[in-house]
């Protein structure tokens, strides 16, 4: 079996993330990781909070906290939400860790030794009103390419073009709003990406045919436009310090590395954090995943489209320039945006549903299923409360939940609390077994291809097949004339419930556990269902004790829908 290294885009530290962040990186990575573990693969799923940069400093200042204290508290708050969503990270680290400081500084030294970092004097925006140089992210203005009037000095959120602060039309301080900006000279380190262009092009060319079109097209667009040398240091108090043994003058000035230089390195550092946090008596080898990793390690990254350039071009350039055998990504699963009634979710503008609010409303499995079943893979997709309510009611409450409840409740009422005996499988059961085996194979194919909407469709079809079988056999009628026939139908349906419990786990882990606990099966440690087992549907034998669980998914009412719309808005608010 392969070893699968999986990372998802690092959530930024300043605030709880919205549903768009969840579906664009962490949740699909978790679904894929869970599936691979079930199939017997060795999986390491790594993520972390991205803690450096001006926004962290400003958020800490607003709360009257030292920035390190603020980040520690914010990390714990985010981790609690991700635990609530049942994200099964192997390690959820922090980019402010000592491991990241050490590895980032090591990368910088090696890049300098190899001629890919140089010190340059530049003219940078200074705000007298704020008494500081403004990092590019905190200069705002109008994008010269698309006219978006809230573009940042590092990148336009609207058209994704990379910018410098001096590119902006009508620039202003994002801190004070002052337009009285000056340009002063200061020194910074530059990563000479232009010298690495050819190597990055060759590397991308070896991978882009396998990548989704979205990831490949964004990488190719950047390379076609040409890689430019980029400043990788900033004038901030919080960040990975420039090492004094290599750049003493810049270190004395308090320069730190740009967050987008150290953040991708945190994937490696967080893996070392995982190794360093091993329980007593356990040894974890982090380097075998990242340094001179053999061909059995397959590295998959999950991210939204605005992060793609940094992971397909900028970080690979860094890794190539280090001239050491660090593992580079094999497959980039890129997502478009989930919108809120056609408008953008916005952390800064509090527009849309945020992950902590979502968990206050309904359990995680409602959200996990809906988001993955409507993942923005081929295009942007829109969250509406109407669509959410309809999906929950049709797929989760009716197709799955009602099937489980009606089968178990009816069987308990007519046969008692053990799986009923009687009857021999016939033509209907043979057809059902073939259909289930075929749908399960389709589900596996789509999961392995990282086609999440198609995988959700196959899973939904598996659930629907049980309902169709139940309607065809009608045990509530069979019981009147042929008790053994009714017993066979219900026993077959119970085997479907157990199958659903196993294969639905990547999507709805809590509900899957509840379904699996229905049956008292001694020694049931199976992690997947093979094709022959799917055809036979006999893993839960007659005489197995069972219980009827509480309602798995409550139907949402019109009153619920109106309450959600009133609380969060039924349409996007103006930006």
Radius of gyration over every alpha carbon of the chain, rounded to an integer in angstroms:
27
pLDDT of residue 400: 98
pLDDT of residue 222: 94
Confidence of residue 123 (pLDDT cuts 50, 70, 90): confident
Instruction: Check whether 137 has a pLDDT greater than 80.
Output: no
**How much of the chain exceeds pLDDT 70, in percent?**
98
Q: Is 8 exposed, middle or buried (0-12, 13-18, 19+ CB in 10 A)?
A: buried
Span 465-517, pLDDT tens digits? 999 999 999 999 999 999 999 999 999 999 999 999 999 999 999 999 999 99
Mean pLDDT value of segment 133-148? 89
- Mean pLDDT computed over every residue of the chain: 94
CB 222 within 8 A of CB 194: no
**How much of the chain exceeds pLDDT 90, in percent?**
85
CB 234 within 8 A of CB 135: yes
Kindly give the interhelix angle for 27-38 and 364-373, rounded to the nearest 10 degrees.
Answer: 90
Please report which residue ranges of 301-426 form alpha helices under DSSP H: 308-309, 315-322, 355-361, 364-373, 385-391, 403-415
CB 365 within 8 A of CB 401: no
Instruction: Check whether 574 has a pLDDT greater than 60.
Output: no
Mean pLDDT value of segment 367-385? 96
Please report which residue ranges of 133-240 form alpha helices under DSSP H: 197-205, 213-225
Query: Running DSSP on this structure, what letter comes out for residue 31?
Result: H
Encoding tokens for residue 33? 């990781």
The Cα 95–Cα 266 span in angstroms is: 5
Encoding tokens for residue 530? 């093979």
∠ Cα 386 83 358 (to 5°)? 20
CB 237 within 8 A of CB 57: yes
Instruction: Check whether 575 has a pLDDT greater than 50.
Output: no
Q: Please give the domain boundaries of the chain with CATH numbers for all domains.
A: 3-104+259-382 (3.40.50.620), 116-256 (2.170.220.10), 384-536 (1.10.730.10)
The Cα 425–Cα 403 span in angstroms is: 20
The Cα 190–Cα 233 span in angstroms is: 8
At 520 the three-state DSSP class reads: coil
pLDDT of residue 350: 61
pLDDT of residue 475: 97
Instruction: Check whether 567 has a pLDDT greater than 90.
Output: no
Span 27-75, pLDDT tens digits? 999 999 999 999 999 999 999 999 998 889 888 988 999 999 999 999 9
Instruction: Check whether 152 has a pLDDT greater than 60.
Output: yes
Confidence of residue 348 (pLDDT cuts 50, 70, 90): low
Please indicate if the annotation marks 156 as binding a ligand.
yes
Residue, of 174 and 425, whose pLDDT is higher: 425
pLDDT of residue 164: 87
Quickly tell me which residue has 């020194």 as its tokens. Answer: 187
CB 241 within 8 A of CB 256: yes
Instruction: Check whether 218 has a pLDDT greater than 90.
Output: yes
Please indicate if the annotation marks 159 as binding a ligand.
yes
How many C-beta neighbours within 10 Å does residue 94 have? Answer: 23
CB 470 within 8 A of CB 407: yes
The Cα 32–Cα 332 span in angstroms is: 13
Mean pLDDT value of segment 271-281? 96
């Amino acid at each position: 079996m392969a070893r699968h290294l999986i990372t998802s885009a690092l959530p930024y530290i300043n605030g709880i993330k919205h549903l768009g962040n969840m579906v664009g990186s962490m949740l699909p990575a978790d679904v894929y990781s869970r599936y691979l573990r079930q199939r017997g693969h060795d999986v390491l799923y790594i993520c972390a909070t991205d803690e450096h940069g001006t926004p962290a400093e400003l958020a800490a200042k607003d709360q009257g906290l030292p920035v390190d204290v603020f980040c520690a508290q914010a990390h714990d708050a985010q981790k609690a939400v991700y635990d609530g969503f049942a994200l099964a990270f192997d390690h959820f680290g922090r980019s402010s860790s000592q491991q990241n400081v050490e590895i980032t500084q090591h990368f910088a030294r090696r890049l300098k030794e190899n001629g890919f970092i140089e010190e340059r004097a530049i003219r940078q925006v200074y705000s007298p009103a704020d008494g500081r140089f403004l990092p590019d992210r905190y200069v705002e203005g109008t994008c010269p390419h698309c006219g978006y009037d809230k573009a940042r000095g590092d990148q336009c959120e609207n058209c994704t073009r990379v910018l410098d602060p001096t590119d902006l039309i009508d620039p202003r301080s994002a801190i004070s709003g002052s337009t009285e900006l000056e340009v002063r000279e200061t020194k910074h380190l530059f990563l000479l990406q232009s010298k690495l262009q050819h190597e990055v092009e060759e590397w991308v060319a070896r991978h882009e045919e396998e990548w989704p079109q979205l990831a490949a097209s964004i990488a190719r667009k950047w390379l076609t436009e040409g890689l430019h040398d980029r400043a990788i240091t900033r004038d901030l108090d919080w960040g990975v310090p420039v090492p004094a043994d290599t750049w003493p003058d810049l270190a004395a000035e308090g320069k730190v590395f740009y967050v987008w230089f150290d953040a991708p390195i945190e994937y490696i550092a967080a893996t070392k954090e995982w190794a360093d946090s091993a329980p007593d008596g356990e040894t974890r080898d982090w380097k075998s995943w990242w340094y001179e990793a053999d061909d059995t390690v397959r590295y998959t990254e999950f991210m939204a489209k605005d992060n793609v350039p940094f992971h397909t071009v900028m970080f690979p350039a860094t890794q190539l320039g280090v001239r050491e055998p660090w593992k580079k990504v094999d497959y980039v699963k890129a997502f478009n945006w989930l919108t809120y009634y056609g408008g953008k979710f916005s952390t800064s503008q509090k527009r849309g549903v945020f992950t902590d609010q979502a968990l206050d409303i309904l359990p995680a499995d409602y959200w996990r299923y809906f988001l993955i079943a409507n993942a923005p893979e081929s295009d942007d997709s829109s969250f509406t409360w109407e669509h959410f309510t309809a999906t929950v009611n049709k797929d989760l409450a009716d197709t799955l939940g009602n099937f489980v409840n009606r089968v178990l409740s009816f069987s308990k009422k007519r046969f008692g609390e053990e799986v009923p005996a009687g009857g021999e499988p016939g033509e209907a059961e043979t057809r059902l077994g073939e259909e289930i085996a075929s749908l399960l194979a389709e589900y596996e194919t789509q999961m392995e291809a990282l086609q999440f909407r198609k995988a959700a469709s196959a899973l939904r079809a598996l659930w629907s097949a049980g309902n169709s079988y139940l309607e065809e056999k009608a045990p509530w009628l069979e019981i009147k004339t042929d008790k053994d026939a009714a017993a066979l139908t219900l026993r077959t349906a119970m085997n479907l419930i157990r199958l659903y419990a196993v294969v639905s786990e990547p999507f709805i882990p809590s509900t899957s556990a509840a379904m699996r606990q229905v049956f008292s099966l001694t020694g049931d440690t199976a992690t997947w269902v093979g094709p022959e087992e799917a055809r036979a549907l006999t893993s839960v034998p007659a005489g197995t004790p069972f219980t009827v669980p509480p309602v798995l998914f409550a139907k949402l009412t019109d009153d619920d829908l109106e309450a959600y719309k009133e609380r969060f808005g039924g349409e996007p608010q103006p930006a």
